[in-house]
A and B are shown apart, each in its own frame.
Chain A
Amino acid sequence: MELSSLYTQVILDHNKETKNRREILGHTHKERGHNPSCGDDITIEAKIEDGIIKDLAYHGHGCSISQASASMMTDLLTGKTVEEALALVEIFLSMIKREIDDIDYLEEVLDEASILQGISNLPARVKCAVLAWHTLKEAIAKNQ
């Protein structure tokens, strides 16, 4: 895999993006996720009202892949119902596990997050890519 196809402009931009990297005043859900092996450590916060994700954000620190993935997830899932969001989380995780590889379909449902499909070939980075998604799932499961 070429470096340029991993570190695409979209990923670099999301890595530096700050609008999704913040705390949410009056959040209803909060969960911290951690990759002990590489030190990624992010906290997902969400405000969920009437079954709809009204606001979603993350903070913490980690590699560009973990940060970009969290930012893309935030963009994708804000405004969705909890059911829709959980379904999209599963599709994203299936993409990384190579259970779904139809790129047209992935682009359609996951939007920019489909760029991370290539990570499925990089075992060392899989945990980084899925951290935010797993953490959100955990946050919802714990507080439903």
Chain B
Amino acid sequence: MKNYREDFPILDLHVKGKKIIYLDSAATSQRPRAVLEAVEKYVQEENGNPHRGSHTLSLRATEAFDAARLKVQKFIGAKSTKEIIFTKNATEAINLVAYSYALDYLTKEDQIVITIAEHHANLVTWQQIARKTGAKLVYMYVDDQGRLPLKELEKINERTKLVACTHMSNVLGSIFPVSEVIKKAHEVGAKVLIDGAQAVPHMPVNVDEMDCDFYVFSGHKMYSLMGVGVLYGKEEILEKMQPFLYGGDMIEYVYEQETSFNELPYKFEAGTQGVESIVSLGAAIDYLHQVGFQNIHEREMALTKYALEELSKLSYIHIVGPTDLTNRGAVISFTVEGVHPHDVSMILDHYGVGVRAGHHCAQPLLRYLDVHACSRASFAFYNTKEEVDALVINLDEVRRVMGYGTK
């Protein structure tokens, strides 16, 4: 069986004499050599400012830029490249929808429905829109296994104009019933934004079949460089929306007192984009296809299954989220009895194991679950069973260092 670690130069690093064990891919994934080489090629052979010149390098850059957009379109099954807007990250994509859609179309008669499991990016943004428009922000709550019960969808009603829902929770690891959410929202005439930041690196996504109105994700969680995100939006909705940012390349004609705007998708891409990052996203998509989602799914689920089994043998570990594999991704949050997550991550790091600690940009969720903070191990297909073993063995060390019993 191929060891995909070899594709990722950074995973050759040694920390305190041991090969680094990276269990924080949900925060940001690592970048494969193929992505780094594509960026190097762009920088050394193709870099110019796209759409801003007729010389060789500007044209090459335009070509690279457009090629990446086409890859993204096909990757998520969008109908047209007009529906693919590049942003800085998923957060900016959500803000674009908030400012250019929600602010103009929502009133104090309306409701915005989100889930309690949203990342702050998909929560604080809607709080602000609710404050500015007077709309009411309504939450759908998860059950004790961290899943969204279909009964909660009844909160989507005639007053609802917008539903924002994560595809997969970055804390719980649960995959939410987005098809049902979208169907229910459309029944009452509401638009739906799906936050796919955690889903896109792990499963095939088809926005056309899903029928969502907006879908957002970040490149850096799916093996590209940081600094690129994507907003997918249905063309007819994007057409009606006002620009988010103003500046170069998003214009058609500019006069002293007025301006007409460029067509989609450029209307929403003011100023020079992070073309290196966008090129890297295209290369990351090629790489993901090469590895194959079936292969990715099998490997990541095998690791998740094994980790859940091994962690359940430790009496002092409490899993925050689903304890079985149904509708679940490769993110496992947990608490260690008696030990604060910050100490857990620090001690694990001492043994070369990198996990995330804290509230994972989801304070309302943790408050709802009555957990102050937790640790999170998240896997990608480049992780191994041995790395899960290292996590489990060193959790015993965590307890020992902090003066508690093990097992």
- The one of A16, A37, A61, A64 that contacts B343, using a Cβ cutoff of 8 Å: A64
* Residue A25 at the chain B interface, CB threshold 8 Å: no
CA distance A140 to B350 in the complex (A): 38
* Residue B77 at the chain A interface, CB threshold 8 Å: no
CB-based nearest B residue for A39: B373
CA distance A12 to B372 in the complex (A): 20
* Pair A38/B343 contact, Cβ less than 8 Å: no
CB-based nearest A residue for B397: A3
Contacts of B357 in A (CB 8 A): 38-39
* Pair A39/B358 contact, Cβ less than 8 Å: yes
CA distance A7 to B347 in the complex (A): 10
With A12-B402, A12-B403 already in contact, the answer to whether A39 and B342 are too (CB < 8 A) is: yes
- For chain B, the bracket of interface size reads 10 to 19
Contacts of A65 in B (CB 8 A): 342-343
Q: Give per-residue flags for B323-343: 1 if the beta carbon is below 8 A from chain A beta carbons, else 0.
A: 000000000000000011111
With A3-B347, A37-B358, A38-B342 already in contact, the answer to whether A64 and B402 are too (CB < 8 A) is: yes
- Describe A's contact surface by its main secondary structure: helix
Contacts of A61 in B (CB 8 A): 340, 372-373
CB-based nearest B residue for A67: B340
> How many residues on chain A are close to B (CB under 8 Å)?
22
* Residue A73 at the chain B interface, CB threshold 8 Å: no
* Residue B401 at the chain A interface, CB threshold 8 Å: yes
- Describe B's contact surface by its main secondary structure: mixed
Contacts of A124 in B (CB 8 A): 346
* Residue B359 at the chain A interface, CB threshold 8 Å: yes
* Pair A39/B401 contact, Cβ less than 8 Å: no
Q: Give per-residue flags for A87-108: 1 if the beta carbon is below 8 A from chain B beta carbons, else 0.
A: 0000000000000000000000
CA distance A74 to B26 in the complex (A): 39
Contacts of B350 in A (CB 8 A): 3
B172 to chain A: closest CB distance in Å?
17
With A63-B340, A63-B343, A64-B343 already in contact, the answer to whether A38 and B403 are too (CB < 8 A) is: no
With A3-B401, A7-B402, A12-B402 already in contact, the answer to whether A41 and B372 are too (CB < 8 A) is: yes
CA distance A62 to B343 in the complex (A): 9
* Residue A45 at the chain B interface, CB threshold 8 Å: no
CB-based nearest B residue for A7: B401
Which A residues from 5 to 26 make CB contacts under 8 A with B? 6-7, 9, 12, 15-16
Which A residues from 27 to 47 make CB contacts under 8 A with B? 37-41
CA distance A16 to B357 in the complex (A): 20
Contacts of B346 in A (CB 8 A): 6, 63, 124-125
Contacts of A128 in B (CB 8 A): 342
Contacts of B402 in A (CB 8 A): 7, 12, 15, 64
Interface centre among B340, B341, B402 (most CB of A within 10 A): B340
A112 to chain B: closest CB distance in Å?
17
* Pair A39/B403 contact, Cβ less than 8 Å: no
Contacts of B401 in A (CB 8 A): 3-4, 7
* Pair A39/B347 contact, Cβ less than 8 Å: no
CB-based nearest A residue for B351: A3
CA distance A101 to B135 in the complex (A): 55
CB-based nearest A residue for B366: A39
* Pair A39/B343 contact, Cβ less than 8 Å: no
CA distance A40 to B346 in the complex (A): 15
CA distance A128 to B401 in the complex (A): 18
- The one of A3, A4, A6, A64 that contacts B340, using a Cβ cutoff of 8 Å: A64
CA distance A73 to B129 in the complex (A): 42
Contacts of A37 in B (CB 8 A): 358
A4 to chain B: closest CB distance in Å?
8
CB-based nearest A residue for B342: A63
Q: Give per-residue flags for B53-97: 1 if the beta carbon is below 8 A from chain A beta carbons, else 0.
A: 000000000000000000000000000000000000000000000
**Chain B interface (Cβ within 8 Å of chain A)?**
339-343, 346-347, 350, 357-359, 372-373, 401-403
**Chain A interface (Cβ within 8 Å of chain B)?**
3-4, 6-7, 9, 12, 15-16, 37-41, 61-65, 67, 124-125, 128
Could you show 25 A-B contacts with beta carbons less than 8 Å apart?
A3-B350, A3-B401, A4-B401, A6-B346, A7-B347, A12-B402, A12-B403, A15-B402, A16-B403, A38-B358, A38-B373, A39-B342, A39-B357, A39-B372, A41-B372, A61-B372, A62-B342, A63-B340, A63-B343, A63-B346, A64-B339, A64-B402, A124-B346, A125-B346, A128-B342
Beyond A3-B401, A61-B340, A63-B341, 20 extra complex contacts between A and B, CB < 8 Å:
A4-B401, A7-B401, A7-B402, A9-B403, A15-B402, A16-B403, A37-B358, A38-B341, A38-B373, A39-B342, A39-B358, A39-B372, A39-B373, A41-B372, A61-B373, A63-B342, A63-B343, A64-B343, A65-B343, A128-B342
